[in-house]
Amino acid sequence: MKKAKAILALALTLMLAFSFAACGKASTEETESTEVITLTAGHADSTESIFQFGLEAFKTKLEELSGGTMTVNIYPSGQLGTLKETLDQVRMGTCDIAPIGYSVLASYASDMGVLDLPFLWDSYEHVNNAFAGELGSYFASELANSGLEVVGWFSQGFREVTSKPKIETLADMQNLKIRVMSSDVYTQTFTALGCAPMSVDFSELFAALQQGTVDGQENPMAILLAVQIEQYHKHLTLWNYLIDPLVLYWNKREWERFPPDVQDAIRTAANEATRYEKALVRAGLDDGQSQRLLEETFHTAAPVPDPVATLEARGVTVTRLTAAEIEAFRAATAAVTEKWIPRIGTAVVEAARADMQP
């Protein structure tokens, strides 16, 4: 309760600061005496992760928009606890903002299971349309009912598959032991592809790779680069079978205490941060669009401008599947998708598919 009152008082102070600034009447003394709202952000990855960079962009933009009356303390590397513990802290209002994987939010918005359906997306353009359109609104409404305000979407990009043998066709996947996350949909998807899926926790993945327990695994490109996947697998197949988004969210009760000026500033900063974070993830993977955005808008370059070329230089053979080749995998998993649609909800699946139409 004390924190809520403090935030409200500071928010009202900030509203006045914005109003004065808009009218061109803010004096130096008034600006210097304005209290600063310090927000708390947390994530589970390192200070060199794309999530850290995204939250730093959020902080910088918010400080700029607020004239220094708002700032953000960022706690990386799980300093605030596990993903679930951070989520609980946001729900309680002790942490203000955090990016979290959609799978962690499944108990609050079961419809997000649509994101587990295999080969739903054809391109980043389709993904953009969906999260900026009806699907994104649908998720925001569902999470609002659970006390969470969506202010943006981070991403880890498409999930690709790496393996010991080359994977180009369904025949290549027969009986391969593929590590997957602990998920019924994931398990059923890879079973439909002819594999022997193995649920292995991410913390145990490296041991499984080193010991040869698994023949392959799937993860976003950023993770493949970070873990130096070439030490374990010499083949990468680009098939874009799943997208891996994260929700950037806020405690709804605390959010509603902010006046519209403050909410607008936070949303604008969050939008800037999500554009930047996604561009870092997609650089070199979307025909140059993200690299141009980084150079022309953010005046920087991605840490790894060309992930595919980087992995090839490390000795990985990269197989790029054609649309027709991907369609064979989609057809093989169609029964899995149809099985899960009634459980997930027909409406949300139709929303996703409608957003992908040109």
> pLDDT of the chain along its 358 residues, tens only?
444 444 444 444 444 344 323 322 222 334 455 789 999 999 999 999 999 999 999 999 999 999 999 999 999 999 999 989 999 999 999 999 999 998 888 878 888 999 999 999 989 999 999 999 999 999 999 999 999 999 999 999 999 999 999 999 999 999 999 999 989 999 999 999 999 999 998 888 888 888 989 999 999 999 999 889 999 999 999 999 999 999 999 999 999 999 999 999 999 999 999 999 999 999 999 999 999 999 999 999 999 999 999 999 999 999 999 999 999 999 999 999 999 999 999 999 998 988 877 6
Beta bridge partners of 75: 42
Look up residue 201 and give its two tokens: 């926790």
- What per-residue confidence (pLDDT) applies to 357? 74
Written as one letter, the residue type at 20 is F
257: exposed, middle or buried (C-beta count within 10 Å: 0-12, 13-18, 19+)? middle
Structure tokens at 140: 């925001």
pLDDT at 33: 52
Residue 238 host element (H or E): strand 235-251
Residue written as token pair 């950037």 = 248
Range of the structural domain that residue 265 is part of: 2-355
Beta carbons within 10 angstroms of residue 103's beta carbon: 18
Q: State residue 2's pLDDT score.
A: 40
How many structural domains are present in the chain?
A: 1
pTM for the whole thing? 0.89
DSSP 71: E
CATH number, domain of 121, equals 3.40.190.170
β 216-220/148-163 pair status = antiparallel
Q: How far apart are the first and last CA of the chain?
A: 48
Cα 274 from Cα 271, distance rounded (Å): 5
